A and B are shown apart, each in its own frame.
Chain A
Amino acid sequence: MMSEQSEKKVGIISCSGEGCVEGTISRIAARLVLERLRPDTTVTICLPLFLAGGREERTFARDYPTITVDGCKKLCAKIGTEHYSGKPASSIIVSDFTPNGKHTELGSRRTLNQETLIIAEQIAERIAEEVDKILECWE
């Protein structure tokens, strides 16, 4: 196999937990990083595919640094990444960003409101900062 590109990229592995608004925030935050904040240096890894054995997802996560973004303390993304590909370079939990961690007061899990969108954007900024730190240390 010839690898034409060994460019510096960071994999973002986020949960998309449908059951709670934090899952949606996690998903949106990861997408904002990919689409707007760091489009050239990030790749998203599809978590269900990754956990189910997706070869491309696992190979990337094994060979490149990753940042996991979990909606809740069950930490599906972090634990799964550690188990199948190695310790992530950084891990973020959405509930650390929500006021008092009370998700029932945050609103719809289907569509983010103004407050939860701001939280998603804050998390996206944090992810982007982590991406930059990882890339600075890349040798």
Chain B
Amino acid sequence: MSNYIQTVVDKFELRVRRSFFYTEDDLWAKVEGAKVRVGVTDYLQRTSGDVAFVEIIKKGLSVKRRAEFGTLETAKTTISLLSPISGKIEETNEKLVEKPELVNSDPYEEGWLAVLEPDDLENDLKTLMSDEEYFGLMVRKLKDQYKSESG
């Protein structure tokens, strides 16, 4: 089985990584033992454009679930990144300083944003979507987008 659930819109393949958790704001969370790695989804990077800047709060700082922990800037837009879980920032992806395009080219792997030490993982995970649920949401968003652009 592929690591991804995929759909194709026009010429673009949009992928959702299996076994990750997701938010309605198009961020993903991957549980890695006692830590959680977070990033943005393929849908978000595709609809936002080429990433020019990624700014994440400093290591050691804490963030509440759904609070802003950083921003992602493209020529089209600046996106507020809302944390999938409450926790402390343990690590940020330093590669994104020089190569923010990794968010576009590899959003689920090399384009990760931060690693957090969770405050209450068990309860926070209950608020997140599964891969299949997020895939369904993504398809609905795409259809709504298509309808609004069609007028």
A residues apposed to B, CB below 8 Å: 1-5, 9, 11, 39-40, 43, 45, 56-57, 59-60
Contacts and interface: CB of A to CB of B under 8 A. Distances in A.
Contact of A9 (B6, B10, B149, B150): B10
A56 B12 contact: yes
16 contacts: A1-B6, A1-B7, A2-B6, A3-B7, A4-B7, A4-B9, A4-B139, A5-B8, A5-B9, A9-B10, A39-B150, A43-B10, A43-B11, A45-B11, A56-B13, A59-B11
B5 interface: yes
A5 B11 CA distance: 11
Contact of A56 (B2, B7, B11, B139): B11
Contacts of B150: 39-40
Contacts of B12: 56
Nearest to A40: B150
A124 B119 CA distance: 58
Q: Which 9 A-B pairs have the closest CB atoms?
A: A60-B11, A4-B7, A1-B6, A43-B10, A56-B11, A3-B8, A4-B139, A40-B150, A43-B11
A76 B9 CA distance: 26
Interface residues of B, number: 14
A135 to B, nearest CB: 15
A87 B149 CA distance: 31
Nearest to A6: B8
Contacts of B10: 9, 43, 60
B135 to A, nearest CB: 8
A9 B12 CA distance: 13
A59 B6 CA distance: 15
A19 B9 CA distance: 33
A2 B11 contact: no
Given A39-B149, A40-B150, A5 B7 contact: yes
Contacts of A57: 11
A130 B142 CA distance: 27
Given A39-B149, A40-B150, A11 B11 contact: yes
A93 B13 CA distance: 31
A79 to B, nearest CB: 20
A2 B150 CA distance: 24
A30 to B, nearest CB: 14
Contacts of B142: 4
Interface in B1-39: 2, 5-13
A45 B11 CA distance: 8
